Amino acid sequence: MTNILITGASQGIGRATAIEAAKKKSFVGINYSKNSDAAESCLEAVKSHGGDGIILKCDVADDIAVKDMFEKFIDKSGTLDGVFNNAGITGPISPIQDLDPADLKLLIDTNVSGAFFVAQETAKIMINQKYGAIVNMSSIAADIGGGGEFIHYAMSKGAIHSLTYGMAKELGKHGIRVNAVAPGLIDTEIHAKAGDASRVDRLMPSVPLGRVGGAEEVAQTVMWLLSEQSSYISGSIVPVSGGR
């Protein structure tokens, strides 16, 4: 059994990844920030698919809470084989001139500082173990810019690209691999939360494959990157975008 911690695991791509991990009999750390019912539902799904796990309430923007989360996970699991550094928000759909500074601060606190805090604690544990695999959650928005809708989100994911490249170079000597997935247009609740439930249908014509992606398709890529099947891959940003 492998031990995998997933931040932002209660919904969307995080939940789908927890279920994929469960199919491989993994012990899964199910992190959530606000929706305890969704976290409980995710744990039930993990168990029904052959895995086990622990629910870990933590706002990743709080560095002290992140340390406590990892301590609780290690107390139960003993080791940390993989981490999916997934927790994040889009912020509201907004052109750059209209974005509220408070929304920008929350976005950066969660997507950049939060991802860094999770990466930092992961590194401490895995350096001591002398092995491990990390997958960061990025986005093709970092490459295409998000103009007119999500420049703020795209900017935050550009930071994840840099975090991934830097960690891979720094941690490779310790036997630790670091990669990222960069999803494109994926059918999850994140679009409605940003204020445009019709966004998937509106943007689908821009996808060369002609369809929207599923959360499970991203999850399967994450699990491959965490597995020994990708043992010589590190420092890569893997698009899961249908060619967009």
Which residues are designated catalytic?
153
Half-sphere exposure of 95 (CA within 13 A, CB side): 3
Cα 62 to Cα 66: distance, rounded to the nearest angstrom = 6
Cα 49 to Cα 47: distance, rounded to the nearest angstrom = 5
Contact 55, 40 (CB under 8 A): yes
Kind plus residue range of the DSSP H or E element containing 213: none
Contact 152, 98 (CB under 8 A): no
Query: In sequence order, what are the beta bridge partners of 29?
Result: 5, 54
Contact 7, 207 (CB under 8 A): no
Q: Which residues contact 218 (CB under 8 A, 6 or more apart)?
A: 13, 16, 17, 181, 183, 186, 240
Cα 66 to Cα 225: distance, rounded to the nearest angstrom = 23
